[in-house]
Structure 1
């Protein structure tokens, strides 16, 4: 008997490395979606390429299997959505059902004796079945490493501010590590403290720690096996970490603290709000200087759009949720003296290539004799990644307005386009875990966005203001002179030294990056009120402006909420889901749908502020203005209770595209005003419901897709601009006719036919692209003056078109990196309010007297005609100046979506569409 037990044990251990017969796997639980759930995530699940596969790709253009097989279907929706039916959804989306049909099994294997993985043929997605909970999360780690190991490794180095030692000193890498280090400059002790804190949160905290550890064990098991077998990602050879001949080198194993780093990176990127108070203050003061306090404040309030009465809200049932608004008579506002603000220095002691300007290098031509040259020419990660925030959309219709009587949802996160994608697909089935969907690579021990057995959920970035800026008085411990460079500050009557956290980064040329060697120190100066971002004077006294973020030192706390999302025993109703979402401290709008109910909840660690504090302005740092209940040792405070967060169940419909959450809830920036891209979704859903026409899944997809190819400026602002123009003069008549024809056709940016790479109404689109920055500047700069205009553009750019953003400066056009997401940031509502005032309309929350043309309609009209003529004379090469991806003047290419390389495999460009990166189409006909 003992011998038999030994044999069984040996067989079980060996089985972990053996492939199983197709179909020999655990069965998933009952699926209540009944094949009515679909999803999509381009370009493909596979983000792994061996060194040989990288060389083949560079020489022959081949790509690993499943690395691009979702891209064409995703792309096709932009040209094919009008003909989409319920029966053809599968042409544009994957089957989002639980399990794998026997004829769709690609391979079945066991990375450990207590877990089985089934890969499907359609997309190569891992379906993980754990006999134990530990086996389930181990399998999640193992399969994520199989698909995205190098990406995960690059991200953990980015989160620590150590990209350059890992991947080379390309300017993009330097910018990226500086951006993330400035936001979350943690020590290793602080990372471990976050783990310990979560582990102490009762039974769920204990389980979360075990899940995370098993997940890390799975990652490390794959690292060891792939290194030993020489099938690890080839980027490790390209970056000099492993020798291609001897296999000598090291792929560093993952640790639990790496998960904290990744959580901090993702939280800073997508789950924060606020922090622009210094820019706000400069813009506000400039307007006061131009117009005087009363009129200046009126113009500021209209531009800021803090609680714009014309802004659409996700909640529209008459409820109000007050948060983040400025009081009528604020106290403790610490405005900088004019001209005194300077950025806090971050980089010290640069040597070698670090002393050179960080100009984006031109893309080198790939030499067939050196196939890896150019692989990482712009850096291993995109430099603008840390600047993207505020994405994703959602459309959810209650069963009262659908054909089936069951809720319908089309929703997903708009996380940018990368090769490989930052998100990864998976199904997880095991004790206490039952989910399928998407997670960020490296944080996939739970499904973050997806579905359970009989419910689905998704999120959009909310960006309510949970970051405050404090003006910290500088001091000298010896009582000597104090300057803006002093590194001591006053805290509760004491003169304390600032804490510093440093990274000493150096790099040498490698196969993937020929940037000369160099080095520098990154130094973050920290106070009890958070990291220092600026130095200035206030009333002549030197101060440091700091960023106090409610999630600082608490990025991992959200793990409990995500754990509940994946636990079928924790979520059996809309109310259960809302309670789970309340455990997430990032600022997200959460949406839920099952067969009976829909729900919405706005999560976030919403600090309670003192009633006299204005969160949109810098605040004097003294106890009278601090967060109530604030403990500087743990960065904890008093937070809004569940009921005060915007929340709703079974509203007729919900839409969200990073718009206002609810009446009374202030946004962190000036974009949530009278014209916002959520209008495109809201109008389409609202009008169909008002007409009595019920929604199907296909109709809701079509509503989303139609909004995704529409120019917000054209649909919502151009009609009023043309009303001011009226009957044009002979010079402008053909131009105005072009714009009117485009507008009559919907103001869309769509190809003449799928794959033509030429827009219908191309001339009108180019004209409008050239006109917008000119007309905005012509409308506002003469009225507010150049200093105030520049301060306001520093606070928020005037435009965010598919081809790039402009601030109206001659020749200034900054590309967006071809990332699809557009029309969130821009002066769309500000232009609309002012132009409607020129037309004589009463505009709630407007500027009062119009600014355009000094308030004279004729002068405003003439400015529009003059700038329109100027736009018509603008060369295409100036409107679309070209970049590393596109020739100057190529309109379609300028708009196109590029899957930014995070490694060595690139992808084909696809046509522009403004929609989620990962997207679900959901309709549950049954419930547990």
Structure 2
């Protein structure tokens, strides 16, 4: 039995609260001469810039912090202080005014007022780090560029050292050896290694190539080296002060008694590895061509070659004319399927065998054994947890009790450091709303935007301000990459991205061979490169683990083995017309992760960004697939970045193709994966459209989208509201644009956009059954009241229209299957659900009415982001076809009820009756957080724990996890606001 933690109550006041050393313990200046004075940056925002990052800035906690948090509920300072304002906006956005924004966002002005300084540290003579009392954000000012970068690294380690280490290990395929063998750690590690395996030489080659590319590349390398030096200086000080993150003890890397252990210094190649993680998570796109090919074959098997191909194209809907667009006018053709594609290499049905990544598994890796996860914290974010006060830790834990105290926090990491689907389902990220000055009350443009990177404790992003020679910016960055601000603002401009996910990944088929000339099979591990039969290059990493305090997964080990060719990474083996092949995937940013550093460098350099056009040109230098949004006092702008390869004429980027030279990307260099890319003019872009909105929807006409980006998309929730307000002549303020975002963030896409068509079909005849009529009336009332999933007030305990919300949650998966499976047939229906999941609700619990026949491909519960992926557009188009309407980009046939209105209505009513009768306990199954049947709790957001500090649940909201509000009343050619 685990005994309770014995802590001296009188010593609670001695719990240290921040992981960065206080000013008194700061390092002495590196040089003897007095430090140069630090000058305040000129700010043109006029107190009209704000941001928020829940749960808080501080992501480091000492062992004592963690123990006190677990026993007494104390929270390290700034570890959770942004949760309450973030959550309360949901309940307070109606009637919001500009004056009230400060209640829900932090001041994002440059600098710290004299009376608001919490700490001031000079880790060396040429840089000062000031943290403000309100948030603990580091404001880093250097008298030299080298000092500024050093300070950025020092501050990043002070806020996220353990998390940076986790991402370093993940980028090298070493997460389980570092953090434990929990199943989620294994899944995440394998996903990353499958998509971005690198050798040390690969990482260094990227650095060398970019550093030699010109002055900007050389400066970038110098910046990274100084940044890494700052992180390492912090590590040395934290070890000397015994002030390092407690997770190093919990994962067995440090000994709490002897202080022996290792926290390894960082290197520039570690930064490249971290960049590969971020790029794969948020800046990739495409792939899946083998699955698309199997869908094409399934359509042809069902309907015949010609009709099957036509229906495949209708369902693929790569350029749906009804889809919401970010750029309202103009066409930007990219990645479109040609009429008669060449080089197509479709797998024979049933022949595809995925490449086996995991080898030589033993112990827990072979058995799947793991410790039971410990539930995360209870309650909701109503008030901040008590904050411990600074002081020494020596009296908190009695001598000899460290080991039993550590027992108290076994399982702290919730069965893994990071969720296993972080990479497998990364694309539902971020939104942006921008309004041109002619539609604002002040005449100055407004932007409300931010990345929807998921809810974690600590958060995956951190906020900072960087001021130094050639750099002036404030905003969010990924820890380990925060030598530049990646999302934020300069003196008189601001920018923010969303994940674009355009197709920058292709699949090629390599013919297999045997070196002795014998007949190959799908078990062969050589391939034809021209006339030569060559072996696959093997990239492997060995991982082993033993139980630790944080992760009690029994000891185990395995080897990760990726097979690489110059043509790409092996994804699977199959036959094509009986010929054994390896399918390899090639991402245009693979081996080129570092290239994007040049674009981010310019974002932070005011001299490089003096206009919207300058920003668009800088964004063009980012190779990752992002949508970029920009504002200053005159303009709003959009630009889509990414290394979009120019493909061989006639090839289809949506299907696998042969690897012969005739079908390769133009000017492709297998040595470094360079190629010819689509030029600036061919990228979706716009300046000073009336408004710009994006929620990961299609960018522009002609720009090919992924599966499921059709007539209904969650982007409609933003676009429809903004366009309607502009049509009414509304003059936007910062507060009213935030209101628009927030209302879209609590809307149910299905209820707002698809329920009207469902009701129209049902209304084609009277509903005689009283119970069904009541269910229909409840659904109608919900839709007419705004289709929101929202409590009437904070703490009400249930949604307005809770019954209708339950009915639709239970109905949707039943409806989709009943509507489409009879016409498509089970094999084709199931193949399509592998390409596009049918549902993504806040709770993630509806998988077909608790096993009553729906698709299981539902979203992860408690994650916030919802309504990105689903069959919303398919259902909508089909119902309109049944109603006899002309549907642009429709199927050309109707599925519901065989296309007969009366039969379709019968299908809807039958499934609606099932849904209305479904017990709430079935629709909302219980979990570690919630009792079964608790609708509000099932929807709630739970912060995934990445360390020893947990967070309370908050109410569901479909909203960025770092969000900023920007409006600039002046620019550098004007006097600063307020003189």
- TM beyond 0.5: yes
- For residues 751-766 of structure 1, the aligned pairs below 5 Å read 751-766=791-806
Q: Is the 8 A contact 1:797 1:806 kept in 2?
A: no
Task: Tell me what 2:167 maps to.
Answer: 155
Note the C-alpha offset of 1:403. Answer: 1.0
| Aligned equivalent of 1:203, options 202, 208, 215 | 215
| Aligned equivalent of 1:348, options 354, 359, 384 | 359
Matched, 1:919 2:967: no
Q: Is the 8 A contact 1:557 1:584 kept in 2?
A: yes
Task: Tell me what 1:129 maps to.
Answer: 141
Matched, 1:448 2:459: no
1:601-635, Cα deviation, whole Å (9 max, x unpaired): 10000001123111111111111111111111111
Task: Output the CA distance in 2 between the equivalents of 1:131 and 1:823.
Answer: 47
Q: Is the 8 A contact 2:376 2:929 kept in 1?
A: no
Matched, 1:717 2:717: no
Task: Tell me what 1:14 maps to.
Answer: 28
Task: Output the CA distance in 2 between the equivalents of 1:520 and 1:856.
Answer: 56
Note the C-alpha offset of 1:850. Answer: 0.5
Task: Tell me what 1:863 maps to.
Answer: 907
Task: Output the CA distance in 2 between the equivalents of 1:253 and 1:681.
Answer: 45
| Aligned equivalent of 1:747, options 777, 782, 787 | 787
Task: Tell me what 1:64 maps to.
Answer: 76
Task: Tell me what 2:555 maps to.
Answer: 517
- For residues 785-864 of structure 1, the aligned pairs below 5 Å read 785-804=825-844, 808=848, 811=851, 812=856, 814=858, 816-864=860-908
SS in 2 for 1:429: strand
Task: Tell me what 2:387 maps to.
Answer: none
Task: Tell me what 1:6 maps to.
Answer: none
Taking a change above 3 Å as real, the CA distance of residues 613 and 870 of structure 1, as seen in their structure-2 partners, is same
| Aligned equivalent of 2:649, options 611, 621, 631 | 611
Note the C-alpha offset of 1:377. Answer: 3.4
Note the C-alpha offset of 1:16. Answer: 6.3
Task: Output the CA distance in 1 between the equivalents of 2:940 and 2:307.
Answer: 43
Note the C-alpha offset of 1:806. Answer: 5.2
Q: Is the 8 A contact 2:603 2:609 kept in 1?
A: yes
1:256-275, Cα deviation, whole Å (9 max, x unpaired): 01100110000000001101
Task: Tell me what 1:696 maps to.
Answer: 733
Q: Is the 8 A contact 2:573 2:581 kept in 1?
A: yes
Task: Output the CA distance in 1 between the equivalents of 2:210 and 2:863.
Answer: 35
Q: Is the 8 A contact 1:81 1:705 kept in 2?
A: yes
Q: Is the 8 A contact 1:610 1:626 kept in 2?
A: yes
Task: Output the CA distance in 2 between the equivalents of 1:671 and 1:420.
Answer: 32
| Aligned equivalent of 1:375, options 412, 416, 420 | 412
Matched, 1:728 2:767: yes
Q: Is the 8 A contact 1:270 1:390 kept in 2?
A: no
| Aligned equivalent of 1:780, options 799, 804, 820 | 820
1:526-547, Cα deviation, whole Å (9 max, x unpaired): 1121111111111011111110
Task: Output the CA distance in 2 between the equivalents of 1:17 and 1:287.
Answer: 72
Task: Output the CA distance in 2 between the equivalents of 1:759 and 1:489.
Answer: 59
Q: Is the 8 A contact 1:17 1:111 kept in 2?
A: no
Matched, 1:118 2:157: no
SS in 1 for 2:421: helix
Q: Quote the RMSD (CA, aligned, Å).
A: 1.9
1:727-770, Cα deviation, whole Å (9 max, x unpaired): 32314111111111111111100013112332111111111001
Task: Tell me what 2:665 maps to.
Answer: 627
Matched, 1:907 2:946: no
Matched, 1:435 2:473: yes
1:332-376, Cα deviation, whole Å (9 max, x unpaired): 111111111111100111111111237894437999883211212
Task: Output the CA distance in 2 between the equivalents of 1:369 and 1:534.
Answer: 44
Matched, 1:338 2:352: no
Matched, 1:252 2:296: no
Note the C-alpha offset of 1:471. Answer: 1.2
Task: Tell me what 2:936 maps to.
Answer: 892
SS in 2 for 1:468: strand
Give structure 2 stretches of 5+ with no counterpart: 1-24, 378-403, 973-979
Task: Output the CA distance in 1 between the equivalents of 2:436 and 2:414.
Answer: 49
Q: Is the 8 A contact 1:172 1:360 kept in 2?
A: no
- For residues 418-817 of structure 1, the aligned pairs below 5 Å read 418-667=456-705, 669-726=706-763, 727-730=766-769, 731-804=771-844, 808=848, 811=851, 812=856, 814=858, 816-817=860-861
Q: TM-score, normalised by structure 2?
A: 0.91
Give structure 1 stretches of 5+ with no counterpart: 1-10
Q: Is the 8 A contact 1:312 1:674 kept in 2?
A: yes
Note the C-alpha offset of 1:57. Answer: 0.9
Task: Output the CA distance in 1 between the equivalents of 2:905 and 2:371.
Answer: 40
- For residues 386-425 of structure 1, the aligned pairs below 5 Å read 386-387=423-424, 388-425=426-463
Task: Output the CA distance in 1 between the equivalents of 2:859 and 2:741.
Answer: 25
Q: Is the 8 A contact 1:797 1:805 kept in 2?
A: no
Q: Is the 8 A contact 1:198 1:556 kept in 2?
A: yes
Task: Output the CA distance in 2 between the equivalents of 1:605 and 1:365.
Answer: 40
1:364-405, Cα deviation, whole Å (9 max, x unpaired): 799988321121231111112112224100011111111111
SS in 1 for 2:28: helix
Q: Is the 8 A contact 2:513 2:524 kept in 1?
A: yes
Task: Output the CA distance in 2 between the equivalents of 1:795 and 1:358.
Answer: 31
Task: Output the CA distance in 2 between the equivalents of 1:806 and 1:544.
Answer: 37
Taking a change above 3 Å as real, the CA distance of residues 481 and 288 of structure 1, as seen in their structure-2 partners, is same
Note the C-alpha offset of 1:695. Answer: 1.0
Task: Output the CA distance in 1 between the equivalents of 2:324 and 2:214.
Answer: 40
1:701-745, Cα deviation, whole Å (9 max, x unpaired): 111111000001110001100111113231411111111111111
Task: Output the CA distance in 2 between the equivalents of 1:114 and 1:609.
Answer: 49
Note the C-alpha offset of 1:287. Answer: 1.4
Note the C-alpha offset of 1:299. Answer: 2.4
SS in 2 for 1:386: coil
Task: Output the CA distance in 1 between the equivalents of 2:494 and 2:289.
Answer: 37
Note the C-alpha offset of 1:101. Answer: 1.0
Task: Output the CA distance in 1 between the equivalents of 2:949 and 2:26.
Answer: 37
SS in 2 for 1:732: helix
Q: Is the 8 A contact 1:119 1:126 kept in 2?
A: yes
Taking a change above 3 Å as real, the CA distance of residues 360 and 399 of structure 1, as seen in their structure-2 partners, is farther
Task: Output the CA distance in 2 between the equivalents of 1:465 and 1:365.
Answer: 37
Matched, 1:319 2:363: no
Task: Output the CA distance in 1 between the equivalents of 2:622 and 2:434.
Answer: 21
1:436-486, Cα deviation, whole Å (9 max, x unpaired): 000001100000000000000000111110100111111111111211111
Q: Figure out how many residues of one structure are paired with residues of the other and give that number.
A: 913
1:670-723, Cα deviation, whole Å (9 max, x unpaired): 122110011011111111111222211111111111100000111000110011
Note the C-alpha offset of 1:297. Answer: 2.4
| Aligned equivalent of 1:26, options 28, 31, 38 | 38
Task: Output the CA distance in 1 between the equivalents of 2:146 and 2:885.
Answer: 64
1:497-553, Cα deviation, whole Å (9 max, x unpaired): 100100111100111111110111110011121111111111011111110111010
Task: Output the CA distance in 2 between the equivalents of 1:652 and 1:581.
Answer: 21
Task: Tell me what 2:280 maps to.
Answer: 268
Q: Is the 8 A contact 2:833 2:857 kept in 1?
A: no
1:39-78, Cα deviation, whole Å (9 max, x unpaired): 1110000011100111111111111000011111110111
Task: Tell me what 1:8 maps to.
Answer: none
Taking a change above 3 Å as real, the CA distance of residues 787 and 466 of structure 1, as seen in their structure-2 partners, is same
